Amino acid sequence: MGSTETFDRNVRLFVYRRFLDRGEPPSVAEAAEGLGTSPAETEAAFRRLEAGHVLVFAPGTLDIWMANPLCAVPTAFRVATASGSWWGTCIWDAFGIPAMLGEDATITTSCPDCGEPFELRVEGGSLLPADGVAHFAVPARRWWDDIGYT
């Protein structure tokens, strides 16, 4: 693994760990300070990770909007585990949070059509039986055309 690849891996892991610990992603400056690296080097890593679809920035900024499955802004998918609570970007990502953490979780969401709230429960690596369906409007090959909409 080259030095750039290793550095980007370290930045990625720092971003995720900080996001999980604090409930919000670090800025470039915070990541640089936490990793003991320069802001310029860290910004370059952020940009490479964004180009590689690992991070998504809020439009026109270097502020992390998504480090999937985690989302920095409130969504319709709240995920709570024994170690914290986070927003999932969508139902796929909401399920991805307990999968990533290896923890049980309660996912609170609501039907976009009728607004009725409902909870989904992940226990012991399984989703407990639940009524409902997932719907994906955008075909797979177009997901990254507008990832905010997807």
Partner 1 sequence: MLAFRSEEHVDRWCRIWGVSRGASFSLQQAWQLGRAWYADKLSPDWRRATPEEAETAFAGIGLTGDFWRLR
One-character DSSP codes across 2-65: -HHHHHHHHHHHHHHHHHHHHSSPPPHHHHHHHHT--HHHHHHHHHHHHHTTS-EEPTTSS-EE
User: By C-beta, is 4 or 40 nearer to partner 1?
Assistant: 4
Is the CB of 27 or the CB of 109 nearer to partner 1?
109
Choose between 62 and 100: whose C-beta lies nearer to partner 1: 100
Q: What's the closest the beta carbon of residue 37 comes to partner 1, in angstroms?
A: 17
For 75, other C-beta atoms within 10 Å of its C-beta total 18
Nearer to partner 1, 40 or 138 (CB): 138
Residues that bind partner 1 (CB under 8 A): 9, 12-13, 16-17, 52-54, 68-69, 76-77, 90-102, 109, 111-114, 116, 118, 120, 122, 125-127, 130-141, 150
Q: Are the beta carbons of 83 and 77 closer than 8 angstroms?
A: no
Q: Least distance from C-beta 50 to partner 1, angstroms?
A: 13
Burial class (CB in 10 A: 0-12, 13-18, 19+), 107: buried
- Min separation Cβ 139 and partner 1, Å: 5
Rounded to a whole number of angstroms, the minimum distance from the CB of residue 43 to partner 1 is 21
Closest CA to 39 of 58, 17, 62, 59: 62
